[in-house]
Amino acid sequence: MNEQQHVRARIGLDYPGFALDLDLDLPGCGVTALFGPSGCGKTSCLRTIAGLERRARGQISIQGECWQDDARGLFLPPYRRAVGYVFQEANLFAHLNVAQNVAFGMQRVPPGQRHVSLEQAVELLGIGHLMQRRCDALSGGERQRVAIARALATSPRILLLDEPLAALDGARKAEVLPYLERLHRELDMAVLYVSHALDEIARLADHLVLLEDGHIRAYGAVNEMLTRLDLPLAHGDAAAAMLDATVESHNANDHISTLRFAAGVLLLPQAASRIGRRLQLRVQARDVSLTLQPPGQTSILNILSATVTGLHEDGPGQVMVGLDVGGCALLARVTQRSAGALRLQQGQRVFAQIKGMAILG
């Protein structure tokens, strides 16, 4: 990986009873998620990159620019780091309106160093109609969108998002998520995203770092991590796999959309997306059933030929089955009785059945 195109962070930080020891080498653009249980070091990692943990040891460079190097006695204070930081709470300036809050971020950056314009930040977050509003008149989702726009207005080399949706209810999360997806698509910038919600990470992130007790347990592409049976991410009722697909056609008669992915096609209730658009599809393991023979007359729209790649006990009476579908990884959660009746084993050919209604875009 080119030195100018990555995020490099070697971090050591000691607390009473806890030590953070990370060695990160991440892409310089796209979204990398930090995931793990509370207290594993996710927020401490972000704070160290931002320069807010002066006691932290190590070396930090962002796209070729060194922010900390203990060996050379180098430590840039937070105000000299091109970083945008968004917390759980929006922390807007109550005495300023929305326009003044966003403009405040831009004031930190000399005109010649700005690569995100005020207009671009406002347009990306869809807050143009809010610019003259008082901050105390905004909903929670609107406040977070303003906070993200303010962070972008600093033209950061890296954007740090520390559980930005955790304080929002379901409706407000649904309001903000499309804007986060848009940032992912349209900005050439490194983003570190902390969340406890796997559905958010599956929808937004390219790569995932799994932290445990202050150390990196595993790192890789999101779908690879979500479907590894040796990791906790691939277990439980929320286990799911991600598929990259492109909208191929819409059938106006039966309101079914055809989406093409690497191993074939999927049929879904009509997707509200234009033909040619790429979508990330989430297939939950609990919504995948298995059969040894291709079914004949069935209401299930999606029948995919698959190979069993592994099996792992998944709680009382349950088995998580890893599947390869034409090079794409899927999961199926079945009962132990079903696994025994089908005599499932690694390398076995099966057919995965997925209801169109169960596939989440």
> Which CATH number belongs to the domain containing residue 318 in this structure?
2.40.50.100
Task: For residue 129, give Cα distances in angstroms to 86, 98, 141, 182, 313.
Answer: 22, 10, 14, 18, 52
Residues 120 and 45 in one domain: yes
Domain count, the chain: 2
- Crossing angle of helices 140-152 and 118-125, in 10° steps, is 150
Q: Which secondary-structure segment (H or E) carries 226?
A: helix 222-226
pTM: 0.89
Chosen domain end from 194, 226, 258: 226
pLDDT digit string, tens, across residues 172-215? 898 999 899 888 888 888 999 999 888 889 889 999 999 999 99
Residue at 86: amino acid letter: V
Average pLDDT over residues 18-34: 94
Distance of CA 220 to the CA centre of its chain: 12
Residues 169 and 267 in one domain: no
Residues 155 and 16 in one domain: yes
pLDDT digit string, tens, across residues 148-164? 999 999 999 999 999 99
Residue 113: partners with Cβ closer than 8 Å, 6 or more residues away = 82, 155
Domain that includes residue 192, residue range: 3-226
Question: Given pLDDT bands bounded at 50, 70 and 90, which one contains residue 318?
Answer: very high
Residues 127 and 268 in one domain: no
User: In the beta sheet, which residues pair with residue 290?
Assistant: 352
DSSP-assigned states of every residue in 59-107: EEEETTEEEEEGGGTEE--GGGS-EEEE-SS----TTSBHHHHHHHHHT
Distance of CA 291 to the CA centre of its chain: 32
